Amino acid sequence: MKQGNGTVPRIGVYVCHCGTNIAGNVDVKAVVDFASKLPGVVVAREYKYMCSDPGQSLIKNDIREKNLNRVIVASCSPHLHEHTFRHATLEGGQNPYLFHMVNIREQVSWVTEDKMSATEKAKALVEAAVYRVRYHEALETKEVPVNPDVLIIGGGIAGITAALTLANAGKKVYLVERDYSIGGHMAKFDKTFPTLDCASCILTPKMTAVKDHPNIHLFTYSEILEIDGYVGNFTARILKKPRYVIEDRCIGCYVCVEHCVYKTPKFPSEFDEGLGLRKPVFIPFPQAVPLIAAIDPETCIEFKSHRCKKTCQEACRDLVGRDAIDFTQREEVVEVQVGAIIVATGFKTFDARRIPEYGYGRYPNVYTSLEIERLVNSSGPTGGEIVMRDGRKPRRVGIIHCVGSRDRNFNPWCSRVCCMYSLKLAHLVRERTGAEVYNFYIDIRTPGKGYEEFYEKLMQEGVHFIRGKVAEVTDWTITPEETGKLVIRVEDSLVGVVRRIPVDMVILSVGLEPRDDAEEVRRQLNISCSSEGWFLERHPKLAPVSTFTDGIFIAGACQGPKDIPDTVAQAGAAAAEALALIDRGSVELEPNIAVIDEQKCSGCHVCIALCPYSAIAFNEEKNVAVINEALCKGCGVCVGTCPSKAITQQLFTDEELLAEIEGVLLV
Amino acid sequence: MAYVYYPGCSLKGTGVSYEKSLLATFKRLNIPLQELDDWNCCGATSYMSISEEQALLLSARNLALASENDGDIIAPCSACYMILNRTANILRDDRTLRQKIVEKLKNVGLEHLNLSVRVRHPLDVLVNDVGLDTIRSAVVNKLTGLRVFPYYGCLIVRPGNGFDHPTYPTSLDRLLEALGCEVIDHPLKTRCCGGSLTGTLEEVGVRLVYILLKEAKKRGAHTLATLCALCQFNLDVYQEKAARKYNEAFDFPILFFTQLVAFALGANPRDIGLEHHFVPAEQVFEMVR
């Protein structure tokens, strides 16, 4: 066996049971016996929960009493508890980087039912660690100051809540929203479940507060181009798209809209889900924040032919005296420095056209739930009156739950909000029209404060509930009663018969999905996504708003489907986590970075071009490459490519890796 | 591209007008269509339920014969299309079964079983290989004003066969539009035609026929376009019974879609098998002229 780094290694090995998580599949005692006989091992122990206080005390006491200078814990993933055990090593009086962690849970006990091979693999990994740690050296961490400003991506209720919390704590916030106005999906809703309080009355004051807050810098109609840097010191490049209206001149007076050459609105309004119309120059909705007009170049005559009379511009200049319209406006890139980032990019709704048998897009009286939200909204395209596309008022309405959700053909997950919003819409439709309302559900899921009571209330109101997955919505009618109606065909699984329910209007309760560009955003921020595309939290229970990238937090439906109360709670949590980071003032950087041996460096520049983080500069005087410790992420690209073998990566030196391989192969 | 034509029993029997019009269509498009030499029964559904292995062997023999040729197999009958595809899928997935079948095929001198040979429906080939633009420009008798009720039947878009959406297919609609037809959108595109129930439980079978005919009438169709020999047979032959039973007059020529395509491409109406129909079909083409 090779010698280590000079000091005689005195190794302590601790094998964790993790309750039955590890001990259920790995013969822990056999691993401990095996470890105790390995060279350099002074003590080997097992314990039920190594991460608990008594577990950590074992390490600390052994370091003191048995003069350990290396510590190995074989337990779970380093993602979970590396920090815990490094800290215990430090408390015991040794440098934390003399500790090494072996993962025998996620990589051993959880992935097999074969106890024999699990135990053998655990032994091999432990032996590898024993060989490796002898090359470990005491490493120093570097502290860097944290920029106290925060970037929030997404101006829905999650982003708004987080921004206000941080701004009220005195932090400077940059809030970036892709759309013309903040408010997100919630701004489109009329009422919110289960209390039926008006969405506008609770949201719009917050939107105004964001606009007026001296600590919040709002970027609307803007997107993130690039994020650079690391925890405490990020640089974000923000693209401000042209709205062809100068923001600080516009007062939202609508004069330009009134004087557009189009006398009446002609183009589908995005905010009204296409149920209402707008002009090429428009304000998305009256409560928009900021209340600023925008011109859509896709529909504006001036952009298409350059032959418009530009009456909007003339009116703004001559009637209002603001001269805010600028057809030559260009996009602009702004760079900001922040210490923490909160991602609150929200969700998109399932495209109901993907289920053609439900008829969306074919039958005009089939609506998505988001369209109905606009239809029941008193500031919506019909002023809150529920009339169908053919102008009639519905007398019978069917609401189909789980459209695109809980379906192996589409999305396997439950979208969590659809049951409750379907009940809410059922209530509102019945209240406004007196229509008979039928809910078609697989299971009603109402776990939340006051939610089950709301369901009970709906049943008492006389809303019908039919349990069964709808087969199709069809205009194939048989009886006179069905004539002129849409027929919902469903197996009523409580009665055990196939039923045909004729209705005037169908509402599809579409599920929630990750946004189309979630993968792109994920890559930009270097965070993780679940296989479905939701952003991944650091721990599903104990770190629900942290990501695996320090300094970046997530909040709201971009992490998974959730309703407004849960979104707001998460946004508060994300703000608190960001505050904790900022107020600490500095962060320790992991020492797993690359180091250049100036003696060996030939100054060939190869590493500089390859570094993905631009962390390597060149010192002309000494003719050597120089790594910026703060920028290096420890990816190892330069280490592998240096032709002179002048670069090593701390914690992953050649000696350490070769010893580890040797240890694995020896068993 | 050359194709191997697998007629199956129906295109030589009740669906002979399907065969005539299919051949006429490919001739007008100058696409060679070579009938598979020495083909046998596809195995059909009834055999499958009695002895799966025998049925697969029967079906696989056709695939083995076709392996000697280049090019995809065209199987116009929906049942043949489904069963040949199913056989290829099963044998691709199940190694043991495949070995057995391969052995047995060798006993009768078929050395080669190429399971990557594709079994195609002519609708798929016309829409996706030939392409609608080619067809549109090859139309000489535009079917303007002809209101057609496209009917796919249950088999060809079953999940897994997959050249179109399993519940709301549109290939036939688009093809008919390219011929100039006025295509009627309706929700019964893949609803059952009655299948073999017309022979076993006639009351049920006739009711299913009636549902389709009634809906086509309600939506103002001049004719129904089918792509399966059994669908065409049921809707054509049992039309009179449905009319009598439900006391409603029907006079619907039930066409194979290939008859419409062949005619539009300029085939002689005498060559597309109109004489084999129960409900006189000539009226459709007189209407267009």
Q: What is the pLDDT of residues A48-75, one digit of tens each?
A: 999 999 999 999 999 999 999 999 999 9
Residue A311's pLDDT is what?
A: 96
Q: Please tell me the class of the B132-288 domain.
A: alpha beta
Give a yes or no: residue A483 inside a domain: yes
Of B168, B186, B215, the CB nearest to A357: B168
Could you tell me if A518 and A527 are in contact, meaning their C-beta atoms sit under 8 angstroms apart? no
Could you tell me if A174 and A217 are in contact, meaning their C-beta atoms sit under 8 angstroms apart? yes
Q: What value does the mean pLDDT take over residues B193-201?
A: 93
Q: Which residues of B touch A359 (CB under 8 A)?
A: 187
Cα A245–A249–A255 angle (5° rounding)?
A: 70
From B163's Cα to the closest Cα of chain A, the distance in A is 16
Searching chain A, which residue's CA lies closest to the CA of residue B211?
Answer: A478
Give a yes or no: residue A260 inside a domain: yes
HSE (side-chain half, CA atoms, 13 Å) at A194? 15
Nearest to A611 by CA among A579, A637, A634: A637
From B28's Cα to the closest Cα of chain A, the distance in A is 35
Could you tell me if A184 and A155 are in contact, meaning their C-beta atoms sit under 8 angstroms apart? yes
Q: Residue B288: pLDDT band by 50, 70, 90 thresholds?
A: confident
Residue A322's pLDDT is what?
A: 93
3-class SS shares of chain B: helix, strand, coil, % to 5: 55, 10, 40
Of A356, A475, A476, the CB nearest to B168: A356
Rounded to whole angstroms, the Cα distance separating A361 from B277 reads: 37
Q: Which residues of B touch A476 (CB under 8 A)?
A: 186-188, 215
Rounded to whole angstroms, the Cα distance separating B99 from B94 reads: 9
Rounded to whole angstroms, the Cα distance separating B184 from B176 reads: 10
Q: Which residues of B touch A475 (CB under 8 A)?
A: 186-187
Residue A297 is given by DSSP the state T
pLDDT tens, residue by residue, A112-160: 999 999 999 999 999 999 999 999 999 998 899 999 999 999 999 999 9
Q: How does the average pLDDT of chain B come out, rounded?
A: 93
* Length of chain B as a residue count: 289
Which residues lie below 8 Å from residue A12, measured CB to CB, with a gap of 6+? Answer: A41, A42, A43, A44, A45, A59, A62, A63, A66, A68, A70, A71, A72
pLDDT over 70, % of chain A = 99
Q: Which residues of A touch B187 (CB under 8 A)?
A: 357, 359, 472, 474-476
Residue A3's pLDDT is what?
A: 46
The reply to whether A135 and A271 lie within a common domain is no
B residues 149..188 contacting A (CB < 8 A): 165, 167-168, 185-188
Report residue A182 as tokens. Answer: 């903040």
Cα A560 to Cα A304, A341, A417, A571, B40: the distances in Å are: 40, 18, 11, 13, 55
Q: Residue B289: pLDDT band by 50, 70, 90 thresholds?
A: low
Residue A2's pLDDT is what?
A: 42
Report residue A530 as tokens. Answer: 């679940």
Select from A362, A476, A479, A506 the residue whose CB has the most chain B CBs within 10 Å, as the one to mutate to test that interface: A476
Residue A147 is given by DSSP the state P
Rounded to whole angstroms, the Cα distance separating A498 from A487 reads: 12
**Whether pLDDT at B209 is above 50:** yes
Nearest to B26 by CA among B12, B7, B9: B7
Q: Which residues of A touch B215 (CB under 8 A)?
A: 476
Residue B256's pLDDT is what?
A: 98
The reply to whether A475 and A598 lie within a common domain is no
Rounded to whole angstroms, the Cα distance separating B265 from B260 reads: 9
Of B165, B186, B215, the CB nearest to A356: B165
Rounded to whole angstroms, the Cα distance separating A631 from A636 reads: 13
Which residue in this structure is represented by tokens 């089950």?
Answer: A452
Residue A548's pLDDT is what?
A: 87
Of A356, A362, A476, the CB nearest to B167: A356
From B168's Cα to the closest Cα of chain A, the distance in A is 6
Domain residues for the domain of A626 are: 594-649
The reply to whether A499 and A637 lie within a common domain is no
Q: Provide the residue ranges of all domains of chain B, joining segments of one domain with +.
A: 3-120, 132-288
Give a yes or no: residue A540 inside a domain: no
Nearest to A423 by CA among A392, A454, A396: A454
Q: What value does the mean pLDDT take over residues A191-201?
A: 94
Which CATH number characterizes residue A73's domain?
3.40.50
Rounded to whole angstroms, the Cα distance separating A658 from A664 reads: 10
Q: Residue A5: pLDDT band by 50, 70, 90 thresholds?
A: low
Which residue in this structure is represented by tokens 């069963």?
Answer: B83
Q: Which long-range contacts (CB under 8 A, 24 or more apart) does A369-373 make?
A: A369/A418, A369/A421, A369/A422, A369/A425, A369/A507, A369/A508, A369/A509, A369/A510, A370/A185, A370/A188, A370/A273, A370/A510, A371/A273, A371/A274, A371/A275, A372/A425, A372/A429, A372/A507, A373/A188, A373/A189, A373/A190, A373/A273, A373/A425
Peptide bond into A290 cis (omega under 30): yes
Q: Which phi-psi region, left, alpha or beta, contains residue A143 (left: φ > 0; alpha: ψ -120 to 50)? A: beta
pTM for this structure?
0.88
Searching chain B, which residue's CA lies closest to the CA of residue A354?
Answer: B165
Residue B155 is given by DSSP the state S
Residue B129 is given by DSSP the state I
Nearest to B265 by CA among B35, B73, B22, B5: B22
Residue A521's pLDDT is what?
A: 95
Residue A79's pLDDT is what?
A: 85
Chain-chain contact of A472 with B167 (C-beta, under 8 angstroms): yes
> Which of A513, A544, A576 is where one domain is finished?
A513
Give a yes or no: residue A160 inside a domain: no
Residue A6's pLDDT is what?
A: 62
Could you tell me if A517 and A510 are in contact, meaning their C-beta atoms sit under 8 angstroms apart? no
pLDDT tens, residue by residue, A517-568: 999 999 999 899 999 999 999 989 999 999 988 999 999 999 999 999 999 9
Rounded to whole angstroms, the Cα distance separating B227 from B218 reads: 22
The reply to whether A359 and A495 lie within a common domain is yes
The reply to whether A494 and A353 lie within a common domain is yes
**Whether pLDDT at A422 is above 60:** yes
Report the Cα A93 to chain-centroid distance in Å.
39
Residue A630's pLDDT is what?
A: 78
> Which of A513, A529, A555 is where one domain is finished?
A513
CATH architecture assigned to B3-120? Up-down Bundle (1.20)
Give a yes or no: residue A412 inside a domain: yes
The reply to whether A497 and A405 lie within a common domain is yes
Kindly state the helix (H) or strand (E) to which residue B233 belongs, with its residue range.
Answer: helix B229-237
Which residues lie below 8 Å from residue A460, measured CB to CB, with a gap of 6+? Answer: none
pLDDT tens, residue by residue, A283-326: 999 999 999 999 999 999 999 999 999 999 999 999 999 999 99
From B188's Cα to the closest Cα of chain A, the distance in A is 8
Report residue A98 as tokens. Answer: 């003399």
- The phi, psi pair for A102, rounded to 5°, reads -115, 130
pLDDT tens, residue by residue, B210-230: 999 999 999 999 999 999 999
Nearest to A325 by CA among A352, A298, A293, A354: A293
Rounded to whole angstroms, the Cα distance separating A520 from A609 reads: 24
Q: How does the average pLDDT of chain A come out, rounded?
A: 95
The reply to whether A383 and A508 lie within a common domain is yes
Can you name the residues that pair with A43 across neighbouring β-strands? A12
Rounded to whole angstroms, the Cα distance separating A421 from A446 reads: 10
Give a yes or no: residue A617 inside a domain: yes
The reply to whether A367 and A508 lie within a common domain is yes
Number of CB pairs < 8 Å for A and B?
17
Peptide bond into B280 cis (omega under 30): no
Chain-chain contact of B215 with A476 (C-beta, under 8 angstroms): yes
From A400's Cα to the closest Cα of chain B, the distance in A is 18
How many domains does one find in chain A?
4
Cα A512 to Cα A187, A358, A471, A481: the distances in Å are: 17, 18, 21, 35
- The alpha carbon dihedral of B268, B272, B275, B278 has a sign of negative
ipTM: 0.88
Q: Which residues of B touch A472 (CB under 8 A)?
A: 167, 187
Which residues lie below 8 Å from residue A20, measured CB to CB, with a gap of 6+? Answer: none
Chain-chain contact of A362 with B185 (C-beta, under 8 angstroms): yes
Report the Cα B234 to chain-centroid distance in Å.
14
Can you name the residues that pair with B124 across neighbouring β-strands? none
pLDDT tens, residue by residue, A473-523: 999 999 999 999 999 999 999 999 999 999 999 999 999 999 999 999 999
pLDDT tens, residue by residue, B25-70: 999 999 999 999 999 999 876 777 888 889 999 999 999 999 887 7
DSSP E strand stretches across A303-417: 332-338, 340-343, 348-349, 366-368, 396-403
DSSP E strand stretches across chain B: 3-5, 33-35, 73-74, 119-120, 147-150, 182-183, 223-226, 254-256
The reply to whether A259 and A372 lie within a common domain is no
The reply to whether A312 and A389 lie within a common domain is no
Q: Which residues of A touch B165 (CB under 8 A)?
A: 356
From A382's Cα to the closest Cα of chain B, the distance in A is 30
Rounded to whole angstroms, the Cα distance separating A639 from A570 reads: 40
